[in-house]
Amino acid sequence: MLTRKKLAIDIFFSFLSPVIQNVSNLIIMFLITKKLGELQFGLFIQFTITLNLVSIVVCLNMGHGIGRFAVGQLANDVLSKIFTSIIFSVFITTTLTFFVAYIFSDKITIFLFDNLSNKYILYYLFIAILFRGFNYQNRAVLRAQRYVKIISVIDIFIFIILTIAIFVSSLFTQNISYYILFSALSEVVFALLFFIVLHTKNIRFSKIDFKVISFYLKYGLTLFFATISYWIVNSSDRYIIKHFFDVSMVGVYSIGYTITNVILLIWNAFVSILYNDLSFLYDSKQIEELELRFNKILKYNVAVTIAMISGLFIVSKPLLILFTKFSKENITLADNTLKIVAVATLFYALFLYFSNILNILKKVNLLSLFWLIMGGINIALNFILIPRIGVVGAAYATLISFFAGSLIIIFYSIKYFKIVFKIDWIVKIIIANLIMISSIYFIKLNSLLSILFVAVLGFIVFSISLYFINFFDENEKILIKKIIKKIIKKQG
């Protein structure tokens, strides 16, 4: 079992990497929207979501099994056999996918990118898909063996290099092709670095074991439709928007998603690490410790998420005006979409977090069903709402489907564990949030510096408010005081 200290360290490094990734994504997004506009950003988004979809398909979700069955002290030869067998499977499925895609390349290009002149994007996509598939498995093995720091260091290095490369190219060209090419090449570099690290840890290419493939394929396929539903819920609306409108509207809609992904940072950090930890606690029958960790993290994450949503409501439109060259109409549309998606993200985060419960109970079929329900609601509402109220209809479809999914999974989870949603701490979060909003609402936002100032001020006011209205228990207050004293002592 992970000690609480070790768990905290792993969570920190799991959090640090997505922070850098999201900063990188935001910089790249604003470079494209400011320099090239919504049409070019739409092309970039189509490349990204298609990469995510096809990578899921070619991997057949086998990496998820690594996180469940390849944890703990396994012999290196066993790990090598698992690693090699799954990498081989990904290579075969990817090759077959490429063959089919090449035959229908013209039709796929028109469907995704509007014009055959954009066919080069499809070829960049082929490169990215192959190495993204490898990277999913590499990460799964390293994470299962608790090499979280190494993953984070590699992630941070690549994200920084990618951001610099795209920034430099933006100074010399107005062509989206370079942005997409660098994104594809980053997957290649990721794969090479991960292979090198695995080799140094004595996890190397070995004999292919088809029994291993069969075992992990069987487990992965039980969650395959859940994973596809995950993509449907998160990305299919871009294709539907493209069907009813054009690629530029995909760009307008997607900017809200990219910004609100910041909200998921804290949740993703905990979900990725907590899954393996909770699995061990459950298997060793340490239910009280499991419930304690789960509830503590739930409490703090909900508090921070609500504060972040409120902050985004205040800064979203000034942010869009500063960092895009969208028309006034499209800025208003993007702003409205962003606010709806921000609220939806809270319910989505809760769904992801509570999915840990079903995973450790090994109720993967039920989890798949919940994902399918949420995906079905999302697609149906997209086709109903988008033709009637436009792009903002996709945002409402997302909100409704996420809300429904979170309710279903929460009500099911509380049948098995003592999950705490105390009214008093929810009320305290709302009070602290109102205090924060009143402190920053009337500040004029006309520069990046003013937006950053509001973000920092809001965080400080919110945190202090939580402290003084007794959101934290006595042990937590003592810990906070110790941390503050250490910081003051170091500064002194």
Report yes or no on 186 lying in a domain. yes
Question: Do 59 and 137 contact (CB within 8 A), yes or no?
Answer: yes
Report the Cα 318 to chain-centroid distance in Å: 25
Of 9, 309, 470, residue with least CA distance to 480: 470
Structure tokens, 440? 């920053």
Instruction: For residue 411, count CB atoms less than 10 angstroms from its CB and return exposed for 0-12, middle for 13-18, buried for 19 or more.
Output: exposed
Report yes or no on 92 lying in a domain. yes
Amino acid making up residue 137: Q
When divided into structural domains, the chain yields a total of 1
Q: Which long-range contacts (CB under 8 A, 24 or more apart) does 161-164 make?
A: 161/186, 161/189, 162/24, 162/28, 162/186, 163/23, 163/24, 163/27, 163/28
Q: Determine the straight-line distance between the first and last CA of the chain, rounded to whole angstroms.
A: 38
Structure tokens, 349? 């985060």
Other beta carbons within 10 angstroms of residue 421's beta carbon come to 12
Which residues neighbour 193 within 8 Å (Cβ) at sequence distance 6 or greater?
154, 157, 158
Report yes or no on 109 lying in a domain. yes
Report yes or no on 366 lying in a domain. no
User: Going residue by residue through the chain (492 aa), what tens digit of pLDDT does each one get?
Assistant: 455 555 556 666 666 777 787 888 888 888 888 888 888 999 999 999 999 889 888 888 887 778 767 766 678 888 889 889 999 999 999 999 999 999 999 999 999 998 899 999 999 999 999 999 999 888 888 888 878 788 888 888 888 898 898 888 888 887 899 999 999 999 999 999 999 999 998 888 988 988 888 888 887 777 777 777 777 877 888 999 998 998 999 999 999 888 888 888 777 766 666 666 676 677 677 777 777 777 778 888 889 899 999 999 999 999 999 888 888 899 999 999 999 999 999 999 999 888 878 877 777 778 878 888 888 999 999 999 999 999 999 999 999 999 999 999 888 887 777 766 677 888 888 999 999 999 998 898 988 899 999 999 999 999 899 888 888 777 767 766 665 666 566 555
Report yes or no on 218 lying in a domain. yes
CA distance 350 to 409: 9
Structure tokens, 383? 């086709």
Other beta carbons within 10 angstroms of residue 71's beta carbon come to 17
Question: Do 307 and 27 contact (CB within 8 A), yes or no?
Answer: no
Domain that holds residue 206: 1-222
pLDDT value for 386: 94
Q: Could you give phi then psi for residue 351, rounded to 5 degrees? A: -60, -45
Report yes or no on 246 lying in a domain. no
Report yes or no on 135 lying in a domain. yes
pLDDT value for 422: 72
Q: For 286, which DSSP code?
A: -
Question: Do 212 and 86 contact (CB within 8 A), yes or no?
Answer: yes
Structure tokens, 14? 């799991």
Structure tokens, 64? 């998820």
Report yes or no on 89 lying in a domain. yes
Q: Could you give phi then psi for residue 151, rounded to 5 degrees? A: -60, -45
CA distance 54 to 469: 48
